[in-house]
Amino acid sequence: MALIVEDGTGKVDAESYASVTDANTYHTARGNDTWSTLSTAETEEALRRATDYIQSTYAGMWNGYQTSTTQALDFPRKYMEMDDYATIVYFSESEIPTAVINACIELAFKAARGELTPDLTQKVKREKVDVLEVEYADNASQLPRYPMIDKILSRFLRAGASGTFRKIVRT
């Protein structure tokens, strides 16, 4: 099944923020040779899972508003502020920010190698195998974290969303 990529029109059936071509170009430029071994179907599946992760993890945290109530994904958005400007400047309502596309592609690389949000099991307090012993902190999270993705997307999140803060410039 062909991947349906959001193109800024607010598609009702979009499945990904990034295309296979964009992902291939991105990973080739970064020397991720593992990516080139994936079939087109595997690449599309990884991009779908990456988009699903972005949708579920950052839902309700974005700046601005969806351009349509029928669009499948969180982007495109109205009133999405660009940072690094002394005055308020907005992304075009038909634009998917390059950083969002790149975050999707980065996550797709991780999705191709395994589950992005694995089912949780009981925490291990102490495990000993022969002479090796592992003990996890009592409050250690079992969920995987992707700090690079958080940093890439933080500029598009509302101030204080999920512990992320945007830079405020006063003039």
Tens-place pLDDT, residues 68-113 = 999 999 999 999 887 666 777 888 899 999 999 999 999 999 999 9
The pairing of beta strand 81-82 with beta strand 77-78: unpaired
Q: Given the structure tokens 């996550």, which residue do they identify?
A: 107
In a domain, 11, yes or no: no
Regarding predicted confidence, which is higher, 162 or 24?
24
Query: Could you list the residue range(s) of the whole structural domain that residue 32 is in?
Result: 20-163
Q: What is the pLDDT of residue 16?
A: 98
β strands within the chain, DSSP E: 65-66, 77-78, 81-82, 89-90, 127-129, 132-134
Cα 46 to the center of its chain, rounded Å: 12
In a domain, 25, yes or no: yes
Do the beta carbons of residue 156 and residue 62 sit within 8 Å?
A: yes
What pTM value is reported for the model? 0.78
In a domain, 105, yes or no: yes
Closest CA to 104 of 1, 22, 7: 22
Secondary structure (3-state) at 47: helix
Averaged pLDDT, 9-16: 97
Regarding predicted confidence, which is higher, 166 or 69?
69
The secondary structure of residue 64, as a DSSP letter, is S
For the stretch 138-159, pLDDT in tens is 665 556 678 888 888 888 887 6
121: Cβ contacts below 8 Å, ≥ 6 apart:
142
Q: Tell me what percent of the residues of the chain surpass a pLDDT of 70.
A: 75
pLDDT band at 161 (very low <50, low <70, confident <90, very high): low
For the stretch 122-136, pLDDT in tens is 566 666 666 677 666
Amino acid at 41: A
In a domain, 13, yes or no: no
In a domain, 136, yes or no: yes
Helices 98-113 and 40-58 pack at an angle, to 10 degrees, of 120
Residue 16 to residue 21: CA distance in whole angstroms: 12
In a domain, 5, yes or no: no
Amino acid at 8: G
In a domain, 158, yes or no: yes
Q: What is the count of structural domains for the chain?
A: 1
